[in-house]
Amino acid sequence: MERARKILVVDDEEPIRKGLSRIVTGLGHEVEVAPDAAEGLEKAMVSNPDLLITDLHMPGRNGLQLMQDLRERGMETTTIVLTAHGSIDSAVEATRRGVYDYLVKPIEPERIQTVILKALEHAAMREEVLHLRRELVRTGQFQRLVGRSPVMREL
């Protein structure tokens, strides 16, 4: 059986936090909640979540800024952004910044469950790729590769 994943929910609306908490625990995962980006950042630094679900628009820092704050601290957390005020511009901006998914509220419980499960699969694959890359570097497996292209140099 797969281990329970840690999911951080950051939203200034308490009913959203409670609803998402029920869904996450119903899926068998651990959940932590925060009402704003500042508290979300504090909790993320302690718990190192596998998935961040954040509102886009909150008082203070917004969800994309929270995601950026985590990246600046070395945390590449898979992120789902929720918003009540969806627009093409904000969806494009979120995607450009690397958000896994962008959902407009209200969201059907079945839809968010599906997105959470797929995002966790994505996070697990990314984790495995990072582990394998570190292992290849550690064991020196790249030393026999020959190539001068930018892609090969990056490897």
Whether 122 contacts 104, CB under 8 Å: no
pLDDT of residue 1: 47
Tokens 């954040």 belong to: 54
pLDDT (average), residues 82-104: 94
Mean predicted lDDT score pLDDT of the chain: 89
User: SS3 for 7-26, per residue?
Assistant: EEEECCCHHHHHHHHHHHHH
Q: Which of 73, 56, 44, 75 is nearest to 16 (CA)?
A: 56
Summarize the confidence of residues 66-93 as an average pLDDT: 94
Is 81 exposed, middle or buried (CB count within 10 Å of its CB: 0-12, 13-18, 19+)? buried
Mean pLDDT of 29-46: 97
**Would you say 61 and 37 are in contact if contact means Cβ atoms under 8 Å apart?**
yes
How many other C-beta atoms lie within 10 A of the C-beta of residue 30? 15
Give the number of C-alpha atoms closer than 13 A to the C-alpha of residue 91, restricted to the C-beta side: 9
Sequence ranges of the domains in the chain: 6-154
Q: How far apart are CA 81 and CA 136, in angstroms?
A: 33
Whether pLDDT at 15 is above 90: yes
Q: Was domain 6-154 assigned CATH 3.40.50.720?
A: no
Q: What is the pLDDT of residues 22-33, one digit of tens each?
A: 999 999 999 999
pLDDT band at 149 (very low <50, low <70, confident <90, very high): low
Q: How confident is the model at residue 102 (pLDDT cuts 50, 70, 90)?
A: very high
- Please give the helix or strand (H or E) that residue 55 lies within, else none: strand 51-55
Positive or negative torsion for Cα 121, 72, 151, 130 = negative
pLDDT at residue 145, as a whole number: 56
Q: Which two tokens stand for residue 122?
A: 């994505």
